[in-house]
Amino acid sequence: ERFYRVDKSHSRQLGGTGLGLSIVKHAAAMHKARLELWSEPDAGTKITVHFDGQ
Protein backbone atom coordinates (compact mmCIF):
# COMPACT_ATOMS: atom_id res chain seq x y z
CA GLU A 1 0.00 0.00 0.00
CA ARG A 2 1.45 3.38 -0.98
CA PHE A 3 0.08 5.44 1.87
CA TYR A 4 -0.57 4.24 5.39
CA ARG A 5 -0.27 5.87 8.81
CA VAL A 6 -0.02 3.58 11.80
CA ASP A 7 -0.60 6.26 14.42
CA LYS A 8 -2.48 9.24 13.06
CA SER A 9 -2.24 11.29 16.26
CA HIS A 10 1.57 10.93 16.37
CA SER A 11 1.89 11.70 12.66
CA ARG A 12 -0.15 14.88 13.04
CA GLN A 13 2.24 16.12 15.74
CA LEU A 14 5.24 15.54 13.49
CA GLY A 15 3.69 16.72 10.24
CA GLY A 16 4.34 15.26 6.81
CA THR A 17 2.18 13.26 4.47
CA GLY A 18 3.55 9.77 5.02
CA LEU A 19 4.58 9.38 1.37
CA GLY A 20 8.36 9.41 1.92
CA LEU A 21 8.93 5.65 2.01
CA SER A 22 6.76 5.08 -1.07
CA ILE A 23 8.79 7.64 -3.01
CA VAL A 24 12.11 6.15 -1.83
CA LYS A 25 10.93 2.62 -2.70
CA HIS A 26 9.90 3.71 -6.20
CA ALA A 27 13.17 5.59 -6.83
CA ALA A 28 15.22 2.64 -5.54
CA ALA A 29 13.36 0.24 -7.84
CA MET A 30 14.06 2.50 -10.83
CA HIS A 31 17.79 2.28 -10.03
CA LYS A 32 17.68 -1.44 -9.16
CA ALA A 33 18.71 -0.60 -5.61
CA ARG A 34 17.90 -2.58 -2.48
CA LEU A 35 16.29 -1.17 0.68
CA GLU A 36 16.95 -2.25 4.26
CA LEU A 37 14.66 -1.05 7.04
CA TRP A 38 15.05 -1.20 10.81
CA SER A 39 12.28 0.06 13.04
CA GLU A 40 11.99 0.14 16.80
CA PRO A 41 9.00 1.44 18.76
CA ASP A 42 9.64 4.84 20.34
CA ALA A 43 13.11 4.97 18.74
CA GLY A 44 12.40 5.59 15.06
CA THR A 45 13.15 3.97 11.73
CA LYS A 46 16.41 3.65 9.81
CA ILE A 47 16.32 3.14 6.04
CA THR A 48 19.43 2.24 4.05
CA VAL A 49 19.50 2.25 0.25
CA HIS A 50 22.09 -0.02 -1.41
CA PHE A 51 23.06 0.84 -5.00
CA ASP A 52 24.99 -1.54 -7.25
CA GLY A 53 28.42 -0.09 -7.99
CA GLN A 54 28.45 -1.08 -11.67
Q: For 23-49, how does the pLDDT look when each residue is reduced to its tens digit (9 = 90+)?
A: 888 999 999 999 999 989 888 889 899
pLDDT at res. 1: 56
Chain-centre distance of CA 1, in angstroms?
12
**pLDDT higher than threshold 60 for residue 10:** no
8-state DSSP, 18: S
Q: Quote the CA–CA distance of 12 and 54 in Å, as a whole number.
A: 41
Q: Quote the CA–CA distance of 2 and 20 in Å, as a whole number.
A: 10
pLDDT at res. 23: 87
Task: Compute the mean pLDDT over every residue in the chain, rounded to the nearest whole number.
Answer: 80
Q: For the whole model, what pTM was predicted?
A: 0.59
pLDDT at res. 34: 94
Are 37 and 22 a contacting pair, CB within 8 Å? Answer: no
